[in-house]
Structure 1
Amino acid sequence: MTWPVNSCFLTLAILVLWRVEEIAEACSCSPAHPQQAFCSADIVIRAKVVGRQEIEVGNNIYGYPVTQIKYDIKQLKMFKGPNQDIDAIYTASSSAVCGVTLDASGKEYLITGRLNSDGKMHVTLCHFIEPWTDLTETQEKSLTQRYEMGCECKITRCTSIPCTISSPVECLWTDWVIEKTVNGEQAKHFACIKRSDDSCAWYRGAAPPKKDFLDIEDP
């Protein structure tokens, strides 16, 4: 049976569009406050990226090789994770499927990621990964002193005014509506901490959390 040329092109176009849509959906993720990224990650480390290589991990349904990027790292500090050193992280080979591009010439990063059943650390564009030098002093100290204290709290992102919270364990994250960025003052300088009465509130700085709490609805 001979297919009309136009029909073949139409079929190919549909397949391409389906694949593009599938990839776009695969890489969809909501912005997260650094504390949310810390609390949801299996592993949080400070590391120096010292090497990069593309590796084959199998074939897709069409028989083409599927590849990943393996970054060799030197772990400098583990803030959260298993009792083992991480010497490599893995990511998809393309940003279209959430692959992460890192500077492998010895640059230091804060890296959050997941620990797969194979014992390897995997990262995507949805994880919080920042050059270490770009972190604020509060963010650095919160990795060991503050973020974990608020993992039972809920950070609710405000996307438009008005926005409210529905529970005393929520902190309202307003960077987007106030500064039009998710990397604003609250992301850089605040942590959502659980207090002695089990409510949660924003806290700025590295002083003991009993000081400098903000009103929960007015960050």
Structure 2
Amino acid sequence: FSLARICVVTLVILFLWRVEEIAEACSCSPAHPQQAFCNSDVVIRAKVVGKQEVDRFKYDVKQIKSFKGPAQDIDAIYTAPTSAVCGVSLEHNGKEYLITGTTLTTFKYYAHHLCDFLEPWETLSATQKKSLTQRYEMGCECKITRCTSIPCMISSPAECLWTDWVIEKTVNGGQAKHFACIKRSDDSCAWYRGAALPKKDFLDIEDP
């Protein structure tokens, strides 16, 4: 091989490695809102009031309510500059969002990732808003298993089968908007729908 050809081959390898790295960095399965709540360090309702560009994007936020996280208010979140590296783009004209994700070690800032659950507050259903205060937390010991193709099944009574994708062709379907997977007294888990606290109105675990 000539030196020039070796250099070209090296550049191609580096390019492919970088593409693979970026793809892997943003590889994530959609999460039910309850899963996002349970897996996050921080869950807040916040108004985005400004944007600065540093080594990545910094959004200044005014925290309205904390559903999970540190005692101190979150006043800014960081995100990567493009969706190719899992960054997110937020409207920063006072729009309110539900934001989930991971805190940095200082607990002052929050690093947001494309794979986290972030939705405009106004688009959330009444059940989703209500579930943030108690119901999602009640089901954090349950496992939500996403069904991507039929047939699909659960492997444990402590699982709820999430079928939005196969039934409605969206991960933001009825189960995501109106149901929470709650642990029952016998340690099994089942879907519950409604704005009141769970009583006996559970769905069968295999019939969402």
- TM bucket (normalised to shorter chain) is over 0.9
The whole-number CA distance in structure 1 between the counterparts of 2:16 and 2:187 is: 49
Matched, 1:12 2:11: yes
| Residue segments in structure 2 that go unaligned for 5+ positions in a row | none
Secondary structure in 2 aligned to 1:133?
A: helix
Given candidates 52, 63, 72, the residue that maps to 2:60 is 72
How many Å apart are 1:82 and its aligned residue?
A: 0.9
Correspondence list, 1:58-137, <5 A: 67-119=55-107, 120-137=109-126
Cα distance, 1:177 vs structure 2: 0.9
SS at match of 1:30: coil
Gaps of 5+ in 1: 56-66
Cα distance in 2 for partners of 1:209, 1:44 equals 22
Cα distance in 2 between the residues matched to 1:117 and 1:192: 31
Query: TM-score scaled to structure 2, two decimals?
Result: 0.95
Q: Could you tell me which residue of structure 1 aligns to residue 198 of structure 2?
A: 209
- Counterpart Cα distance in 1 of 2:175 and 2:163: 8
Q: CA deviation at 1:39?
A: 0.4
Map 1:30-69 onto structure 2 (within 5 A): 30-55=29-54, 67-69=55-57
Identical counterparts, % of pairs: 76
Give the counterpart letter for 1:180 in structure 2: K
Q: Which has the larger radius of gyration?
A: 1
Q: Please name the residue that 1:3 is paired with.
A: 3
**For the residues of structure 1 that align with 2:82 and 2:21, how far apart are their CA atoms?**
14
| Aligned residues between the structures | 206
RMSD: 1.2
